[in-house]
Amino acid sequence: MSQHIFDYAIVGSGLSGLACAVRLSQETKNVVLLDGLDQAGGVNRPISFPTGTINNGLRFVPDTELNRQALLFLEDLLGLKVVAGAEHRPPVSFEEGRLKEFVGFGENPPEFYDQMKPFMNPDHLKLNLEPALWTSLLLEKFQGQFMPRSYVTRFQVENNEVQHLTINGAKTIRAANVIYAGPVKSLSVLMSQDSLSARARQKLAKNVYWTALCLDLCHDKTVTDSEAVHILNGTTQDEIGPCAGRFMPPTETEQGPRQTSQWVTFLDEEVTEDSELVGAALKKIKRQIKRAYPEALEGLVRERIMVSPMVGGDGELKLKGNQTMPEAHNLWIASSALAPERGVTGALLQAHLVLAALGFSTRQHHPSEVLEASF
Protein backbone atom coordinates (compact mmCIF):
# COMPACT_ATOMS: atom_id res chain seq x y z
CA MET A 1 0.00 0.00 0.00
CA SER A 2 1.44 3.36 -1.02
CA GLN A 3 2.16 5.94 1.67
CA HIS A 4 -0.17 8.93 1.93
CA ILE A 5 1.32 12.13 0.53
CA PHE A 6 0.30 15.40 2.15
CA ASP A 7 0.10 18.54 0.06
CA TYR A 8 1.90 20.42 2.84
CA ALA A 9 3.79 19.36 5.95
CA ILE A 10 4.51 22.19 8.38
CA VAL A 11 7.22 21.66 10.98
CA GLY A 12 6.68 23.77 14.11
CA SER A 13 3.33 24.89 15.51
CA GLY A 14 4.43 28.26 16.85
CA LEU A 15 2.98 31.49 15.51
CA SER A 16 4.65 31.27 12.09
CA GLY A 17 3.78 27.61 11.54
CA LEU A 18 0.19 28.08 12.66
CA ALA A 19 -0.29 31.11 10.42
CA CYS A 20 0.90 29.10 7.41
CA ALA A 21 -1.22 26.12 8.43
CA VAL A 22 -4.43 28.13 8.75
CA ARG A 23 -4.06 29.84 5.38
CA LEU A 24 -3.08 26.65 3.53
CA SER A 25 -5.93 24.65 5.08
CA GLN A 26 -8.32 27.18 3.56
CA GLU A 27 -7.19 25.80 0.19
CA THR A 28 -6.74 22.12 1.01
CA LYS A 29 -7.45 19.95 4.06
CA ASN A 30 -4.50 17.72 3.11
CA VAL A 31 -2.16 19.62 5.45
CA VAL A 32 -0.29 18.20 8.45
CA LEU A 33 1.11 20.34 11.28
CA LEU A 34 3.92 18.72 13.27
CA ASP A 35 5.33 19.62 16.67
CA GLY A 36 7.57 17.84 19.13
CA LEU A 37 5.62 19.19 22.12
CA ASP A 38 2.27 17.91 23.33
CA GLN A 39 0.43 21.12 22.45
CA ALA A 40 0.52 23.80 19.76
CA GLY A 41 1.50 27.41 20.23
CA GLY A 42 5.20 27.38 21.01
CA VAL A 43 6.18 30.19 23.39
CA ASN A 44 3.07 32.28 22.68
CA ARG A 45 0.55 30.72 25.02
CA PRO A 46 -1.63 32.11 27.81
CA ILE A 47 -0.36 31.95 31.39
CA SER A 48 -2.59 32.02 34.47
CA PHE A 49 -1.37 34.55 37.02
CA PRO A 50 -2.85 36.06 40.21
CA THR A 51 -3.85 39.13 38.16
CA GLY A 52 -5.51 37.04 35.43
CA THR A 53 -4.26 35.76 32.08
CA ILE A 54 -0.93 37.17 30.93
CA ASN A 55 1.43 36.67 28.02
CA ASN A 56 4.15 34.06 28.32
CA GLY A 57 6.83 36.67 28.91
CA LEU A 58 7.02 40.34 27.94
CA ARG A 59 5.43 41.18 24.58
CA PHE A 60 5.64 44.60 22.95
CA VAL A 61 4.67 45.64 19.41
CA PRO A 62 6.26 48.88 18.15
CA ASP A 63 4.23 51.00 15.76
CA THR A 64 6.02 50.40 12.46
CA GLU A 65 4.69 49.90 8.95
CA LEU A 66 5.91 46.29 8.88
CA ASN A 67 4.27 45.52 12.21
CA ARG A 68 0.99 47.00 11.00
CA GLN A 69 1.21 44.79 7.90
CA ALA A 70 1.88 41.75 10.08
CA LEU A 71 -1.15 42.41 12.27
CA LEU A 72 -3.39 43.08 9.26
CA PHE A 73 -2.36 39.62 8.07
CA LEU A 74 -3.28 38.17 11.48
CA GLU A 75 -6.62 39.99 11.48
CA ASP A 76 -7.32 38.52 8.07
CA LEU A 77 -6.61 34.98 9.30
CA LEU A 78 -8.69 35.35 12.48
CA GLY A 79 -11.49 37.57 11.21
CA LEU A 80 -10.97 39.64 14.36
CA LYS A 81 -9.84 43.21 14.97
CA VAL A 82 -6.50 42.84 16.77
CA VAL A 83 -5.15 46.41 16.66
CA ALA A 84 -6.94 48.93 18.88
CA GLY A 85 -4.82 51.93 17.91
CA ALA A 86 -1.42 53.47 18.49
CA GLU A 87 0.12 55.22 21.48
CA HIS A 88 3.16 57.45 21.99
CA ARG A 89 4.88 56.50 25.24
CA PRO A 90 8.69 56.87 25.26
CA PRO A 91 10.64 54.30 27.29
CA VAL A 92 12.21 55.34 30.57
CA SER A 93 15.42 54.53 32.42
CA PHE A 94 16.62 55.15 35.95
CA GLU A 95 19.44 57.67 36.01
CA GLU A 96 20.76 60.03 38.68
CA GLY A 97 18.28 58.75 41.24
CA ARG A 98 15.12 59.21 39.17
CA LEU A 99 13.20 57.89 36.21
CA LYS A 100 13.77 59.84 33.02
CA GLU A 101 13.19 59.36 29.32
CA PHE A 102 15.55 56.78 27.85
CA VAL A 103 17.91 58.38 25.32
CA GLY A 104 19.84 55.34 24.13
CA PHE A 105 22.91 53.32 25.06
CA GLY A 106 25.44 55.82 23.76
CA GLU A 107 28.85 54.33 23.07
CA ASN A 108 28.10 51.10 24.98
CA PRO A 109 25.26 49.26 23.22
CA PRO A 110 24.71 45.68 24.38
CA GLU A 111 25.67 42.79 22.12
CA PHE A 112 21.97 41.97 21.84
CA TYR A 113 21.10 45.50 20.72
CA ASP A 114 18.90 44.21 17.88
CA GLN A 115 16.81 42.26 20.39
CA MET A 116 16.40 45.34 22.61
CA LYS A 117 15.69 47.75 19.76
CA PRO A 118 11.91 47.13 19.58
CA PHE A 119 11.53 48.11 23.25
CA MET A 120 13.26 51.43 22.55
CA ASN A 121 10.57 52.60 20.13
CA PRO A 122 8.50 55.44 21.68
CA ASP A 123 5.42 54.43 19.67
CA HIS A 124 3.60 51.14 20.11
CA LEU A 125 0.42 49.47 18.94
CA LYS A 126 -2.36 48.91 21.46
CA LEU A 127 -4.00 45.52 21.08
CA ASN A 128 -7.55 44.27 21.51
CA LEU A 129 -6.21 40.75 21.53
CA GLU A 130 -2.94 39.89 23.27
CA PRO A 131 -0.39 37.49 21.71
CA ALA A 132 -1.18 34.93 24.43
CA LEU A 133 -4.42 34.10 22.60
CA TRP A 134 -3.29 34.35 19.00
CA THR A 135 -2.04 30.77 18.71
CA SER A 136 -5.09 29.13 20.32
CA LEU A 137 -7.41 31.11 18.05
CA LEU A 138 -5.34 30.16 15.01
CA LEU A 139 -5.43 26.48 16.00
CA GLU A 140 -9.23 26.67 16.12
CA LYS A 141 -9.16 27.90 12.51
CA PHE A 142 -6.83 25.13 11.30
CA GLN A 143 -8.69 22.54 9.21
CA GLY A 144 -5.90 20.03 8.63
CA GLN A 145 -4.29 17.36 10.82
CA PHE A 146 -2.28 18.30 13.92
CA MET A 147 0.30 15.77 15.12
CA PRO A 148 1.75 16.67 18.54
CA ARG A 149 4.65 14.75 20.08
CA SER A 150 6.00 14.38 16.55
CA TYR A 151 9.63 15.46 16.70
CA VAL A 152 11.14 15.79 13.23
CA THR A 153 14.63 14.30 13.29
CA ARG A 154 15.59 14.34 9.60
CA PHE A 155 14.70 15.78 6.22
CA GLN A 156 15.53 13.08 3.67
CA VAL A 157 16.68 15.02 0.61
CA GLU A 158 17.20 13.36 -2.77
CA ASN A 159 17.47 14.95 -6.20
CA ASN A 160 17.18 18.44 -4.72
CA GLU A 161 13.87 17.62 -3.03
CA VAL A 162 12.68 16.59 0.43
CA GLN A 163 11.38 13.07 -0.21
CA HIS A 164 10.14 12.41 3.31
CA LEU A 165 10.45 13.52 6.93
CA THR A 166 11.60 11.22 9.70
CA ILE A 167 9.51 11.55 12.87
CA ASN A 168 10.85 10.57 16.31
CA GLY A 169 13.72 8.72 14.63
CA ALA A 170 11.50 6.05 13.08
CA LYS A 171 8.19 6.97 11.41
CA THR A 172 8.21 8.73 8.04
CA ILE A 173 5.84 11.26 6.48
CA ARG A 174 5.72 12.32 2.86
CA ALA A 175 4.62 15.71 1.57
CA ALA A 176 4.79 17.52 -1.75
CA ASN A 177 5.87 20.69 0.07
CA VAL A 178 7.56 21.12 3.44
CA ILE A 179 7.43 24.36 5.43
CA TYR A 180 9.96 24.65 8.23
CA ALA A 181 9.04 27.05 11.04
CA GLY A 182 11.53 25.97 13.70
CA PRO A 183 14.89 27.39 14.83
CA VAL A 184 17.19 28.12 11.90
CA LYS A 185 20.15 26.54 13.67
CA SER A 186 18.43 23.13 13.76
CA LEU A 187 18.57 22.86 9.96
CA SER A 188 22.21 21.78 10.26
CA VAL A 189 20.98 18.72 12.20
CA LEU A 190 17.85 18.03 10.16
CA MET A 191 19.68 18.01 6.83
CA SER A 192 22.40 15.46 6.14
CA GLN A 193 25.98 16.29 5.20
CA ASP A 194 25.17 15.54 1.57
CA SER A 195 22.04 17.70 1.43
CA LEU A 196 23.39 20.90 3.00
CA SER A 197 26.45 22.63 1.61
CA ALA A 198 29.51 23.03 3.80
CA ARG A 199 29.24 26.81 3.40
CA ALA A 200 25.62 26.86 4.59
CA ARG A 201 26.46 24.59 7.51
CA GLN A 202 29.36 26.86 8.47
CA LYS A 203 27.13 29.95 8.40
CA LEU A 204 24.54 28.27 10.61
CA ALA A 205 27.25 27.35 13.10
CA LYS A 206 28.73 30.87 13.15
CA ASN A 207 25.42 32.68 13.59
CA VAL A 208 24.83 34.22 17.01
CA TYR A 209 21.57 33.06 18.59
CA TRP A 210 19.94 34.77 21.55
CA THR A 211 17.86 33.21 24.32
CA ALA A 212 15.26 35.34 26.08
CA LEU A 213 15.39 35.14 29.88
CA CYS A 214 12.03 36.35 31.16
CA LEU A 215 10.95 37.22 34.69
CA ASP A 216 7.27 37.75 35.53
CA LEU A 217 6.44 39.23 38.94
CA CYS A 218 3.16 39.70 40.77
CA HIS A 219 3.45 42.52 43.32
CA ASP A 220 1.19 42.69 46.38
CA LYS A 221 0.56 46.39 45.79
CA THR A 222 0.48 49.02 43.11
CA VAL A 223 4.13 49.84 42.43
CA THR A 224 3.63 52.50 39.76
CA ASP A 225 1.01 53.88 37.41
CA SER A 226 3.61 54.18 34.64
CA GLU A 227 2.92 51.89 31.68
CA ALA A 228 6.09 52.94 29.85
CA VAL A 229 8.72 50.37 28.95
CA HIS A 230 11.58 50.50 31.44
CA ILE A 231 15.12 49.92 30.16
CA LEU A 232 17.35 49.38 33.17
CA ASN A 233 21.05 48.64 33.35
CA GLY A 234 22.71 50.18 36.40
CA THR A 235 25.80 52.34 36.53
CA THR A 236 28.52 49.79 35.77
CA GLN A 237 29.13 47.83 32.59
CA ASP A 238 29.09 44.04 32.87
CA GLU A 239 28.75 40.97 30.67
CA ILE A 240 25.02 40.66 31.38
CA GLY A 241 23.78 43.94 29.95
CA PRO A 242 20.42 45.73 30.29
CA CYS A 243 16.90 44.45 30.75
CA ALA A 244 13.56 45.73 29.50
CA GLY A 245 10.35 45.57 31.48
CA ARG A 246 6.87 46.90 31.88
CA PHE A 247 4.29 47.25 34.65
CA MET A 248 0.75 46.25 33.75
CA PRO A 249 -2.27 48.21 35.02
CA PRO A 250 -3.14 47.21 38.62
CA THR A 251 -5.86 44.62 39.19
CA GLU A 252 -8.27 44.54 42.12
CA THR A 253 -8.50 41.11 43.75
CA GLU A 254 -10.13 39.74 46.90
CA GLN A 255 -6.77 40.14 48.60
CA GLY A 256 -6.43 43.76 47.49
CA PRO A 257 -4.65 45.44 44.58
CA ARG A 258 -2.14 43.37 42.65
CA GLN A 259 0.19 44.45 39.86
CA THR A 260 2.10 42.35 37.36
CA SER A 261 5.41 43.37 35.85
CA GLN A 262 7.24 41.50 33.09
CA TRP A 263 10.96 41.71 32.36
CA VAL A 264 13.37 40.30 29.80
CA THR A 265 17.08 40.20 29.07
CA PHE A 266 19.00 38.14 26.54
CA LEU A 267 21.78 35.59 26.81
CA ASP A 268 23.99 34.10 24.14
CA GLU A 269 22.46 30.71 23.38
CA GLU A 270 25.81 29.02 23.96
CA VAL A 271 25.92 30.05 27.64
CA THR A 272 22.25 29.42 28.45
CA GLU A 273 23.19 26.18 30.23
CA ASP A 274 25.44 28.12 32.61
CA SER A 275 23.23 28.20 35.71
CA GLU A 276 25.50 30.69 37.46
CA LEU A 277 25.22 33.19 34.60
CA VAL A 278 21.44 32.73 34.39
CA GLY A 279 21.20 33.26 38.15
CA ALA A 280 23.37 36.38 37.94
CA ALA A 281 21.19 37.79 35.15
CA LEU A 282 18.01 37.25 37.18
CA LYS A 283 19.62 38.88 40.23
CA LYS A 284 20.62 41.86 38.13
CA ILE A 285 17.05 42.32 36.86
CA LYS A 286 15.76 42.34 40.44
CA ARG A 287 18.53 44.67 41.55
CA GLN A 288 17.60 47.20 38.87
CA ILE A 289 13.89 46.99 39.71
CA LYS A 290 14.68 47.60 43.38
CA ARG A 291 16.96 50.49 42.47
CA ALA A 292 14.11 52.24 40.64
CA TYR A 293 11.33 51.09 43.00
CA PRO A 294 12.83 50.28 46.43
CA GLU A 295 9.69 48.55 47.80
CA ALA A 296 8.66 46.71 44.63
CA LEU A 297 10.08 43.33 45.62
CA GLU A 298 8.70 43.29 49.15
CA GLY A 299 5.84 40.83 49.58
CA LEU A 300 5.92 39.35 46.10
CA VAL A 301 2.85 37.21 45.47
CA ARG A 302 4.40 35.20 42.67
CA GLU A 303 7.61 35.00 40.69
CA ARG A 304 7.85 33.16 37.39
CA ILE A 305 10.91 32.48 35.24
CA MET A 306 10.67 31.57 31.57
CA VAL A 307 13.53 30.75 29.21
CA SER A 308 12.87 30.93 25.49
CA PRO A 309 15.79 29.53 23.46
CA MET A 310 16.91 30.98 20.13
CA VAL A 311 14.25 33.69 19.93
CA GLY A 312 16.56 35.76 17.76
CA GLY A 313 19.82 35.78 15.95
CA ASP A 314 21.58 36.79 12.81
CA GLY A 315 19.25 34.69 10.70
CA GLU A 316 22.01 34.37 8.12
CA LEU A 317 20.81 31.69 5.74
CA LYS A 318 20.98 31.87 1.98
CA LEU A 319 17.52 31.29 0.52
CA LYS A 320 16.15 31.62 -2.96
CA GLY A 321 13.84 34.55 -3.66
CA ASN A 322 10.84 32.29 -3.03
CA GLN A 323 12.13 31.43 0.48
CA THR A 324 13.17 27.88 -0.40
CA MET A 325 16.50 26.24 0.36
CA PRO A 326 18.89 26.06 -2.62
CA GLU A 327 19.47 22.40 -1.71
CA ALA A 328 15.74 21.49 -1.70
CA HIS A 329 13.27 23.27 -3.97
CA ASN A 330 10.23 22.08 -1.96
CA LEU A 331 11.56 23.14 1.47
CA TRP A 332 10.22 26.57 2.43
CA ILE A 333 11.69 28.40 5.45
CA ALA A 334 9.20 30.26 7.66
CA SER A 335 11.48 30.74 10.69
CA SER A 336 10.90 34.08 12.39
CA ALA A 337 14.66 34.71 12.76
CA LEU A 338 14.80 35.53 9.04
CA ALA A 339 12.18 38.30 9.26
CA PRO A 340 13.06 42.02 9.24
CA GLU A 341 11.18 42.56 12.53
CA ARG A 342 11.77 40.84 15.85
CA GLY A 343 9.34 39.00 18.08
CA VAL A 344 5.77 37.97 17.37
CA THR A 345 5.37 40.18 14.33
CA GLY A 346 8.53 38.75 12.79
CA ALA A 347 6.94 35.30 12.88
CA LEU A 348 3.85 36.63 11.10
CA LEU A 349 5.88 38.50 8.48
CA GLN A 350 7.95 35.45 7.54
CA ALA A 351 4.82 33.30 7.34
CA HIS A 352 3.21 35.89 5.06
CA LEU A 353 6.32 35.96 2.86
CA VAL A 354 6.31 32.17 2.44
CA LEU A 355 2.59 32.09 1.67
CA ALA A 356 3.03 34.81 -0.94
CA ALA A 357 5.89 32.83 -2.51
CA LEU A 358 3.61 29.79 -2.63
CA GLY A 359 1.06 31.88 -4.50
CA PHE A 360 -1.48 32.32 -1.71
CA SER A 361 -2.55 35.86 -0.99
CA THR A 362 -4.49 36.49 2.19
CA ARG A 363 -8.23 36.61 1.97
CA GLN A 364 -9.57 40.05 2.63
CA HIS A 365 -12.59 40.13 4.95
CA HIS A 366 -15.38 42.57 4.36
CA PRO A 367 -15.31 45.16 7.21
CA SER A 368 -18.52 43.71 8.65
CA GLU A 369 -16.81 40.30 8.94
CA VAL A 370 -13.97 41.60 11.12
CA LEU A 371 -15.18 41.40 14.70
CA GLU A 372 -13.94 43.28 17.73
CA ALA A 373 -11.84 41.09 20.00
CA SER A 374 -10.93 41.42 23.65
CA PHE A 375 -8.30 39.71 25.80
Q: Mean pLDDT, to the nearest integer, of 220-231?
A: 96
Q: With cut-offs at 50, 70 and 90, classify the pLDDT of residue 375.
A: very low
pLDDT, tens digit, for every residue of 93-110? 999 899 999 999 988 899
30-39, 229-238, 277-286, 343-352: lowest mean pLDDT where? 229-238
pLDDT, residue 369, reads 47
| Mean pLDDT across 131-142 | 95
Greater pLDDT, 179 or 189: 179
User: What average pLDDT does this structure show over 175-196?
Assistant: 90
Q: What is the pLDDT of residues 306-320, one digit of tens each?
A: 998 877 765 567 788
HEC-encoded secondary structure of the chain: CCCCEEEEEEECCCHHHHHHHHHHHCCCCCEEEECCCCCCCCCCCCEEECCEEECCCCCCCECCHHHHHHHHHHHHHHCEECEEEEEECCCEEEECCEEEECCCCCCCCCCCHHHHHHHHCCEEEEECCCHHHHHHHHHHHCCCEEECCCCEEEEEEECCEEEEEEECCCEEEEEEEEEECCCHHHHHHHECCCCCCHHHHHHHHHCCEEEEEEEEEEECCCCCCCCCCEEECCCCCCCCCCEEEEECCCEEECCEEEEEEEEEEEEEHHHCCCHHHHHHHHHHHHHHHHHHCCCCCCCCCEEEEEEEEEEEECCCCCCCCCCEECCEEEEEECCHHHCCCCHHHHHHHHHHHHHHHHCCCCCCCCHHHCEECCC
| Mean pLDDT, range 3-18, rounded to an integer | 96
Checking if the pLDDT of 219 tops 90, the result is yes
* pLDDT value for 374: 45
Range scoring the smallest mean pLDDT among 34-38, 123-127, 206-210, 223-227: 206-210
When pLDDT is averaged across residues 352-367 and rounded to a whole number, the result is 76
Please give the mean pLDDT across all residues of the chain: 91
Range 284-293 average pLDDT: 97
Percentage of the chain surpassing pLDDT 90? 71
Is the pLDDT confidence value at 232 over 90?
yes
Phi, psi at 46, each rounded to 5°: -75, 145
For each of the domains in the chain, give its residue range(s) and CATH number, in order of start: 1-44+129-206+314-375 (3.50.50.60), 83-127+208-312 (3.90.660)
Q: pTM of the entire structure?
A: 0.91
